[in-house]
């Protein structure tokens, strides 16, 4: 259950970071890559919802659950995809902080 709460918190953090990146993109007149942060948050929340539905449903026996490829793809693959999208969008928007200036 704590894993579900952690994923919900991570998705909420990505949404907040998406709002901040949206504002930065408006100021810098950058392309709207902040939508990748929103999509990443939705993917992470989808993984949390999948875990919650499978754990509270009739398929809650753990040995059987981890052998279900649909569960593994949705509960672990979807958040991994969301975090990867968010990482790429974050790198695009915020890499200027790490760039060396003369």
Burial 55-74 (b: 16+ CB within 10 A, else e): beeeeeeeeebeeeeebeeb
Beta carbons within 8 Å of 11's beta carbon, 6+ residues apart: 41, 42, 44, 45, 48, 82
Interval 7-28 mean pLDDT: 87
86 versus 102: the higher-pLDDT residue is 86
Query: What does the pLDDT look like over 45-68, one tens digit per residue?
Result: 999 998 888 877 665 666 666 677
* Whether pLDDT at 101 is above 80: no
């Amino acid at each position: 259950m704590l894993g579900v709460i952690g994923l919900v918190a991570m998705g909420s953090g990505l949404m907040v970071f998406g709002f901040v990146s949206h504002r930065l993109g408006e100021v810098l007149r950058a392309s709207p890559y902040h939508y990748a942060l929103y999509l990443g948050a939705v993917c992470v929340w989808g993984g949390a919802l999948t875990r919650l539905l499978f754990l509270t449903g009739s398929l809650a026996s753990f040995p059987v659950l981890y052998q279900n490829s649909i569960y593994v793809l949705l509960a672990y693959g979807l958040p991994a995809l969301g975090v990867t999208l968010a990482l790429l969008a974050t790198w695009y928007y915020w890499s200027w902080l790490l760039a060396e200036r003369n």
